């Protein structure tokens, strides 16, 4: 039963983080990864990165490599929320 409760808590937590990511992305349309991490405080960077990767795999976000070793995050135009 405890494992099921942890799973539910994780889903709720991810939903809150998802809303925060989309809220930031709607206002900026494009965002550096570091700025997105700061906008998603108090979530740990590992969770934010995992959520960005998950949303990228679903086709909601696009992770774009920029010269100089940085990344920017964009909303996919066909999947705006």
27: phi then psi, degrees, rounded to nearest 5? -80, -25
Q: What domains sit in the chain, N to C, each tagged with a CATH number?
A: 2-79 (1.10.10.10)
DSSP conformation letters of 41-66: TTS-HHHHHHHHHHHHHHTSEEEEEE
pLDDT in tens, the chain (81 residues): 444 444 434 444 578 899 999 988 888 878 888 888 899 988 999 999 999 999 999 899 999 988 888 889 999 876 544
As separate numbers, helices (DSSP H) first and strands (DSSP E) second, the chain gives 3, 3
């Amino acid at each position: 039963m405890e494992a099921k409760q942890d799973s539910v808590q994780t889903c709720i937590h991810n939903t809150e983080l998802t809303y925060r990511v989309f809220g930031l992305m709607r206002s900026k349309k494009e965002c550096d990864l570091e700025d997105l991490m700061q906008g998603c405080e108090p979530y740990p960077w590992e969770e934010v990165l995992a959520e960005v990767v998950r949303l990228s795999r679903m086709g909601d976000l696009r992770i774009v490599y920029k010269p100089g070793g940085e990344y920017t995050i964009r909303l996919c135009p066909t999947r705006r929320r």
